[in-house]
Structure 1
Amino acid sequence: MSMIAAFYGGKSILITGATGFLGKVLMEKLFRTSPDLKVIYILVRPKAGQTLQQRVFQILNSKLFEKVKEVCPNVHEKIRAISADLNQSDFAISKEDMQELLSYTNIIFHCAATVRFDDHLRWLDDAIIDEITPKLIGDRPNTYTYTKALGEMVVQQESGNINIAIIRPSIVGATWQEPFPGWVDNLNGPSGLIIAAGKGFLRCVRATPMAVADLIPADTVVNLTLAVGWYTAVHRPKSVLIYHCTSGNFNPCNWGKMALQVLAAFEKIPFERAFRRPNADFTTNSITIQYWNAVSHRAPAIIYDFYLRLTGRKPRMTKLMNRLLRTVSMLEYFINRSWEWSTDNTEMLMSELSPEDQRVFNFDVRQLNWLEYIENYVLGVKKYLLKEDMAGIPKAKQHLKRLRNIHYLFNTALFLIAWRLLIARSQVARNVWFFIVSFCYKLLSYFRASSTLKV
């Protein structure tokens, strides 16, 4: 019997960010392992043309909740959507809803967060904020990491007598095992890069190949979160414990190796209608990356937009490419460094779990096979993000072969044109060319003579 699953039975639980990627996986795991829980309150921002209940049904009708409906058929009755906006005072929650939350909530999982690295701080006038932001964030790379640190300070200072724990996941990716491998529903983190590379838009990145890619599957984060919730409530630690949910310490995989595994996955599971052949080159040199951005990214985009104009369509590729390159530039701080995390609390918690809980709420990334995980990740991106049919894989492979042939023909033509111009202008180049032709002719004659003698 799982002690953790039993702990959540009969509880009223509040989840912020339940409509987001991690929040959905957390909610699914709770319902699947503790179907007898009382209720899950979720904060939902009002959306034009869609009621709160419609948004709940939209979440439950996704592939993610298929297994939940088998063990908890009345799952829709156990979700209570609360109208809220985390940007407003008191989250814009009505007095009646606030009173209900205060009266009945047993556990809170705060998962809501902005995932934009360059969001503006919102404390003062925009002009003042723009001026003082560099001084505020100091050595931190962006406002995202700065506000995360501020949030943790506020939690620790204002916690009072509430039992609190903090979980710090690294780069969150698709699910590893639960409820099935490769589930993902957003473009954040590696997912957007996988699409950009698989479609042939992104072919070179400024990154350190040997730096550790500290990727962590979403279900691993959720399993640790639920185990931490149980331990914090039952054992009541005297201080706020911080748990690092990372892979680098236990099962490191560097960016270079991961890129090779992604490219290998594209060979088996290509994306449809690729713009160019998938490729992934890394460089740490600023001048080199500027060259490749011009030659391999912007130039093809400009050429394609010119083609769109000629055919009477609206150009869009250059704008898309510029946006992609801006996004990648914001990731450069993280993909050019390796990070070391203290995992003492995570290892301590693992030792506190029973064998059954270690199985049901597995967060031991030492068991993760990166090659298998990456292949499932690419498959998940294709199925759940791009909505591409697996039956279209043979056609997608044929398309990549055509792109490969076009690539070779283009490079050959470019070489011949450059060589012809060089020959026309340089006597040395002409002499080299005549020497090569003469040598090849003599070599061919030798082989023909040898074969005649043997006969």
Structure 2
Amino acid sequence: MELECILRFFENKTILIIGATGFLAKVFMEKILRVQPNVKRIYLLLRASDNEFATQRFCHEVIGLDLFNVLRKSLGANLESYVFERVTPISGDICDVNLGIKDSILREEMWNEIDIVLNSAATTNFDERYDVALGINTFGALHVLSFAKKCIKLKVLLHVSTAYVCGEKGGYILESPIYKGDRLKGTSRLDINVEKELVEEYLDRLRVQGATNEEITSTMKDFGTKRTVDGVIAAYGKGKLKCFLGHPKTIMDVIPADMVVNSMIMAMVAHANKSSQIIFHVGSSMRNPMKLSSLSDLSSLYFTQNPWIDRNGKSIKVSKMIVFSNIDMFQAYMAIRYKLPLKVLWLANLVLFQYYREIYINLNRKVKVVMRLVDLYKPYVFFTGCFDDSNTEKLRVTIRENDVDMHLFNFDPKCIDWGDYIMNTHIPGLIKYSMKR
């Protein structure tokens, strides 16, 4: 697997990227356009009313980003022509059969041409409606698989997901597939079609009862949540969060996006034209773990040295975040800070875990925000698992043994200095691109 071999793999290939405006998809596309200018065609599936609007979304949400500055610097005014000679944005929807591509001629062309399918489409809201999440993350993946099976030249299908789809498992988590119908909890089988019918029946019942759109959205959010870490960092930096719940020794399995993309590229090359299904954990918990306490300390140090400036030009001073390792200590602190009886906080906890909304409405606003975050992040900040990455390590060994350019395709977490990365890359990037004043 020499460098020439890796780059040649993408030469004259046609790639379908689903979830094209997503973070990893954009990084992947930029990498391919930068290292292999002779890629034949990249189809980008975007949610849009038609192909013209899909192209507009692509120009606005993708090509204009700082991500393309390296290409922009080398190509200058020729960037757009270079990109559009190789990239075709198309309108579609992963929630629909045939990915929502209505043009039958275009579909046939794609089925005859596509060599590689990359699915990185997913809802990224950490507090998503269950029906929306089911449509995108579950049935969407099924539609991608069905579409890929019709691609007669297909060499590899790569599906990207967070490792935390494993649920709340503890201990050593192997790179083992979860098969259709398997449950993360319990022993009964899961039928996604039955699940979809239940959701539709529940939505119909809400509509018959006269529920407003806001009430339907709120209720459906209660069915499922998705975790990230950056919401906590942002809330802390803005002075809205002074304490949180979580075990300081919890390992935060994080990894830079460019390393994920490099591993995706290597996995495609190594496993093209193979019928076997293989899982790769691309993370840091095995090779270079970072604890929750370290992230808390680094966030505190950063915002102490670089205070957030609000929309009124005021500098926000932060104190060291207090991290409580159990719910009783957290509730006692909240009771003292906001002068609320423990009974009310206990009820607030029930609100967030059992959704007694009539009590929740009467709570202090700041308490509601903090308790909501606690509910969303609890499985994450008390996570006790460690992700095995044996398959991923085999890819890294292959790179080292074949003298591949490590600068171009590195994805070894051992080389990461977490202090430097969090202080000089992650939080500055979060501030620049995600935190609004």
TM-score between the two structures when normalised by the length of structure 2: 0.67
Aligned residue among 42, 45, 69 for 2:44 = 42
Hey, what's the Cα distance between the residues in 1 that align with 2:308 and 2:231? Answer: 13
Q: 1:281-305: per-residue Cα shift (whole Å, max 9, x none)?
A: 1112212222444555799xxxxxx
Q: Is the 2:12–2:39 contact (alpha carbons within 8 Å) kept by the matching residues of 1?
A: yes
Alignment gaps of 5+ in structure 2: 166-225, 341-362
Does residue 1:254 correspond to 2:291, yes or no?
A: yes
Hey, what's the Cα distance between the residues in 2 that align with 1:7 and 1:67? Answer: 23
Cα distance, 1:27 vs. partner? 1.1
Hey, what's the Cα distance between the residues in 2 that align with 1:281 and 1:267? Answer: 15
Q: Quote the residue 1:267 is aligned against.
A: 304
Q: Is the 1:2–1:360 contact (alpha carbons within 8 Å) kept by the matching residues of 2?
A: no
Q: Quote the residue 1:231 is aligned against.
A: 270
Q: Quote the residue 2:360 is aligned against.
A: none
Say which SS state the counterpart of residue 40 (structure 1) adopts. Answer: strand
Letter matched to residue 232 of structure 2 = L
Hey, what's the Cα distance between the residues in 2 that align with 1:62 and 1:345? Answer: 33
Q: Quote the residue 1:289 is aligned against.
A: 330
Hey, what's the Cα distance between the residues in 1 that align with 2:306 and 2:125? Answer: 29
Cα distance, 1:23 vs. partner? 1.2
- 5 Å-filtered alignment, 1:269-348, equals 269-273=306-310, 277-293=318-334, 296=337, 322-323=368-369, 325-348=371-394
Cα distance, 1:148 vs. partner? 6.5
Greater CA drift, 88-97 or 217-226: 88-97
Q: Quote the residue 2:26 is aligned against.
A: 24
Q: Quote the residue 2:260 is aligned against.
A: 221
Tell me the C-alpha RMSD between the 2 structures: 3.5
Q: 1:195-228: per-residue Cα shift (whole Å, max 9, x none)?
A: 1111111111110001111111111111111110
Seen in structure 2, the aligned counterparts of structure 1 residues 262 and 275 have a Cα distance that, compared at 3 Å, is: closer
Q: Quote the residue 1:79 is aligned against.
A: 87
Say which SS state the counterpart of residue 356 (structure 1) adopts. Answer: coil
Q: 1:404-437: per-residue Cα shift (whole Å, max 9, x none)?
A: xxxxxxxxxxxxxxxxxxxxxxxxxxxxxxxxxx
Say which SS state the counterpart of residue 113 (structure 1) adopts. Answer: coil
Cα distance, 1:16 vs. partner? 0.5
Q: Is the 2:297–2:320 contact (alpha carbons within 8 Å) kept by the matching residues of 1?
A: no
Q: Is the 1:202–1:279 contact (alpha carbons within 8 Å) kept by the matching residues of 2?
A: no
Q: Quote the residue 2:426 is aligned against.
A: 377
Q: 1:330-380: per-residue Cα shift (whole Å, max 9, x none)?
A: 111111123222211111111122322433111101000000100121111
Letter matched to residue 196 of structure 1 = A
Aligned residue among 5, 17, 22 for 1:3 = 5
- 5 Å-filtered alignment, 1:102-251, equals 102-117=111-126, 119-122=128-131, 163-164=156-157, 169-170=162-163, 189-233=228-272, 236-237=273-274, 239-251=276-288
Tell me how many residue pairs correspond in the alignment. Answer: 333
Q: Is the 2:253–2:283 contact (alpha carbons within 8 Å) kept by the matching residues of 1?
A: yes
Hey, what's the Cα distance between the residues in 1 that align with 2:238 and 2:384? Answer: 28
Say which SS state the counterpart of residue 36 (structure 1) adopts. Answer: coil
Hey, what's the Cα distance between the residues in 2 that align with 1:18 and 1:60? Answer: 11
Aligned residue among 63, 66, 72 for 1:69 = 72
Q: Quote the residue 1:97 is aligned against.
A: 106
Hey, what's the Cα distance between the residues in 1 that align with 2:368 and 2:324? Answer: 19
Aligned residue among 350, 369, 394 for 2:396 = 350
Seen in structure 2, the aligned counterparts of structure 1 residues 166 and 298 have a Cα distance that, compared at 3 Å, is: farther
Letter matched to residue 28 of structure 1 = E
Q: Quote the residue 2:217 is aligned against.
A: none
Cα distance, 1:276 vs. partner? 5.4
Q: 1:94-126: per-residue Cα shift (whole Å, max 9, x none)?
A: 212212211211111110012345545549xxx
Letter matched to residue 41 of structure 2 = V
Say which SS state the counterpart of residue 255 (structure 2) adopts. Answer: strand
Q: 1:148-187: per-residue Cα shift (whole Å, max 9, x none)?
A: 69959x969x979964455555479xxxxxxxxxxxxxx9
Hey, what's the Cα distance between the residues in 2 that align with 1:344 and 1:378? Answer: 30
Identity of aligned residues (%): 27
Say which SS state the counterpart of residue 404 (structure 2) adopts. Answer: helix
Hey, what's the Cα distance between the residues in 2 that align with 1:288 and 1:57? Answer: 50
Say which SS state the counterpart of residue 205 (structure 1) adopts. Answer: strand
Say which SS state the counterpart of residue 297 (structure 2) adopts. Answer: helix
TM-score between the two structures when normalised by the length of structure 1: 0.65
Alignment gaps of 5+ in structure 1: 124-142, 173-186, 300-316, 389-455
Hey, what's the Cα distance between the residues in 1 that align with 2:235 and 2:121? Answer: 26
Hey, what's the Cα distance between the residues in 2 that align with 1:47 and 1:54? Answer: 11
